[in-house]
Chain A
Amino acid sequence: MTARIRRGLRLVLVLLGVIALLVAWIAWLNLRGESSEAATAEAKLADRALIERGAYLARAGNCIGCHTVRGGASFAGGRGIDTPFGVVMAPNITPDVNTGIGGWTAADFWRALHHGRSQDGRLLYPAFPYPSFTHVTRDDSDALFAYLRSVPAVEQANRPHRLRFPYGTQAALAIWRALYFRAAALPPEPHHSPGWNRGRYLVQGLGHCAACHSGRNVLGGIRNEWAGGLMPDASWYAPSLASPSEAGVQHWSRDEVVRLLKVGVTRNASVSGPMAEVVFSSTQYLSDPDLEAMAEYLATLPLREAPGPDAQRADADLLVRGGQLYGQHCAACHGDAGRGFPGLYPALAGNRAVTLALPNNLVQMIRHGGFAPATVGNPRPFGMPPFGQALNEGEIAAVATFIRQSWGNAAGAVSPLDVLRVK
């Protein structure tokens, strides 16, 4: 009897020891590489040129996109980011002392960007894309910080996140970070050109392109970089940059990539949905050399073809119905043969955006319409009506199926349930 108790006790002690080791290991994984960070001289942070560079970098990172609520004060936070784990509220990053980051130092800011930890030591949610921002240099981090110190301070208290248990706990975050996050610089690869290295730095760092254009696992960790993925709110699909049949630009001219990011439309492509926001508030402001560098890097992403589209033909009845709706609502702009008017109304024949395996983006466009982003190069964009005002789910499914299976397009049919599933 006593022997059994002693054995049980030993087992408990061993288990406790293992747990303690695991906790220590996870803690170490979360904190390694952090050292007491050097301070940045006040004179440097007040430098006009540094602040201006910071403003440019803030555009490159589209900080304003998440840290500003629609119509609200710039950088004052309050926008909720929908994720599968709940809603993460973007905080106030204006220099207000009480509610913003007015009490932070440049070293605090760097720790948030590079290590994903807040001034008070809390682990940050990766909805703040520090797995990408960790690549930003200390010098650029200081420039961003100098710029953010220069914007108007706004007193606006942060709203609490609305995350389901256990995702809202620091312990869950620590485990997530142990699995999926490594603080790391991005040392230049000398066998590539300076342009390529600059492009990689912008794309993988501040641009945080991988945050959307990658596949994620059930815990929200990046599983397949550049393989495309549903946006965290499951509304739009960010197409693969590794696949030329999705959004890969490996076979594009550099000029066309630059034009798409700068202007928002080219003769053969246009941005929509979340990418329209990226062009509108971020990439249109980047310099030509930086856009060219990004294009140079993106062209070298390893090719990985997406699995072939489901070529199963839809029922003839459905295609006839879809064709009628197309003639009635779409042909005036996109043409009977789906050829569109290059640069004005996009062609649908051979259009990568309409043949993606997931029909989300096509359904979004049909349902909500939209204008291309207004940019310096395209100040008065053309637009599409929100056909969700006139067509029901069945009709949207029929016309989407017709578009996906006409003029050489051979993507899978879309059911009314698919349409309903798209948020």
Chain B
Amino acid sequence: MRLSVRSLIAVGLLAHGALSAAQGPAGREVSDTMAERMQACVMCHGREGRATNAGYFPRIAGKPAGYLLSQLQNFRDGRRQNATMSHLMQHLSDDYLRAIADYFASLDLPYPAAQASSLSADQQRVAQTLVFKGAPDRQIPACVACHGANMAGRLPAMPGLLTLPPDYLISQLGAWRTGQRHAAPPDCMAEVAMRLTPGEVDIVARWLSAQTLPTGTRPQGVDGPPLPLRCGSGER
């Protein structure tokens, strides 16, 4: 019976149109906020969109809003394949997807700690070369040229990659290589993914995953040096 009084209060609040903070049967406050609406995302992407670098699900907190909006639309419209995400997005409007993207982009949450690297010294060198210098002889630009000098992303639509689960990174690069994932044309990431060897994909993914960033790191601004490739998502 301890619930009934609270329920009555909740009903009373609702009857007065005060949806903004209803006290729930479980004693939890349910408020009319984006945070409450995004509870549907928490189970996989972690509380407030922050996932650890174990498992599969990517962190979405603090990624550029332009990137997040593109991904939400891609899932909804079939340009990116994930049955779960496609199902969740299927009846949502562009306006709402923009609000969702803005919400997660605005979150500034701590990154998971750096991990001891599973890579050999040689592999570390290969990874760092690709990340900071690229492979100009094979037209592979440095990751940092697009994803930000500290790999925390670059506005308006390049995601940060550090601390993402290696399985996730490997699977995304694989999806680009097999045509399962597309970015807005011209799809620069597809070009880069095709030029990497499967071995390089594995090494770079594991290196990126093991790094960390200080709390408060934001994506690089739009006014950096020009992108090394033409990228549909970078030009928005």
Contacts and interface: CB of A to CB of B under 8 A. Distances in A.
Interface stretch (B85-93, B106-114, B170-178): B85-93
Contact of B84 (A267, A339, A368, A374): A368
Contacts of B91: 276-277, 279-280, 370-374
B101 to A, nearest CB: 13
A85 interface: no
Interface string A70-98: 11100000000000000000000000000
Interface stretch (A33-41, A176-184, A312-320, A384-392): A384-392
B93 A369 contact: no
Contact of B40 (A280, A337, A369): A369
Given A332-B26, A379-B93, A371 B43 contact: no
Given A382-B36, A385-B39, A386-B43, A369 B88 contact: yes
Contact of B96 (A332, A336, A339, A380): A380
A70 B79 CA distance: 9
Interface stretch (A3-11, A238-246, A295-303, A340-348): A340-348
A389 B84 contact: yes
A279 B3 CA distance: 34
Given A70-B86, A339-B25, A371 B92 contact: yes
Nearest to A372: B91
A335 B92 contact: no
Contacts of A389: 43-44, 84
Interface in A324-342: 331-333, 335-337, 339-342
A331 B76 CA distance: 29
Interface in B90-107: 90-93, 95-96, 99
Nearest to B36: A382
Contacts of B95: 374, 379
Residue with the greatest number of chain A CB neighbours at <10 A, chosen from B78, B91, B95, B96: B91
Given A276-B91, A280-B91, A370-B87, A335 B39 contact: no
Interface of chain B, main secondary structure: helix
B4 to A, nearest CB: 8
B84 A344 contact: no
A160 interface: no
B25 A69 contact: no
Nearest to B23: A341
Nearest to B92: A374
A371 B30 contact: no
A336 B26 contact: yes
A235 B40 CA distance: 22
Given A69-B78, A374-B92, A335 B40 contact: no
A195 interface: no
Contacts of A71: 76-79
A381 B96 CA distance: 9
Nearest to B56: A389
Contacts, number: 112
B41 interface: yes
Range of interface residues on A (Cβ < 8 Å): 35 or more
A373 B90 CA distance: 8
A390 B22 contact: no
Contact of A337 (B3, B11, B22, B28): B3
Nearest to A264: B91
Given A70-B78, A333-B30, A382-B37, A343 B19 contact: yes
A390 B3 contact: no
Contacts of B128: none
A386 B37 contact: no
Nearest to A335: B25
B42 interface: yes
A191 B9 CA distance: 47
Interface in B9-25: 10-11, 14, 19, 22, 24-25
B7 interface: yes
B24 A341 contact: yes
A188 interface: no
Contact of A345 (B30, B43, B77): B30
Interface string A275-298: 011011000000000000000000
A367 to B, nearest CB: 10
Residue with the greatest number of chain B CB neighbours at <10 A, chosen from A276, A371, A387: A371
A17 interface: no
Contact of A341 (B30, B38, B84): B30
Interface string B72-84: 0000111100001
Contact of A385 (B10, B34, B41, B93): B41
A337 B14 contact: no
Nearest to B34: A380
Contacts of B39: 333, 382-383, 385
A333 B86 CA distance: 23
Contacts of B40: 369-371, 382-386
Contact of B88 (A336, A370, A380): A370
Contacts of B42: 385
A380 B39 CA distance: 13
Contacts of B11: 342
A386 B28 contact: no
Residue with the greatest number of chain B CB neighbours at <10 A, chosen from A279, A333, A387, A388: A333
A70 B86 CA distance: 10
B25 to A, nearest CB: 3
A311 to B, nearest CB: 25
B43 A335 contact: no
A380 B38 CA distance: 10
7 contacts: A332-B24, A343-B14, A373-B92, A374-B93, A379-B95, A384-B40, A387-B43
Interface of B: 3, 7, 10-11, 14, 19, 22, 24-26, 28, 30, 32, 34, 36-44, 76-79, 84, 86-88, 90-93, 95-96, 99
Given A337-B25, A371-B92, A389-B44, 9 more contacts: A333-B24, A341-B30, A342-B11, A343-B19, A345-B30, A374-B96, A379-B96, A385-B44, A388-B84
Query: Which 3 pairs of residues, A with B, have the shortest CB-CB distance?
Result: A71-B77, A335-B25, A383-B40
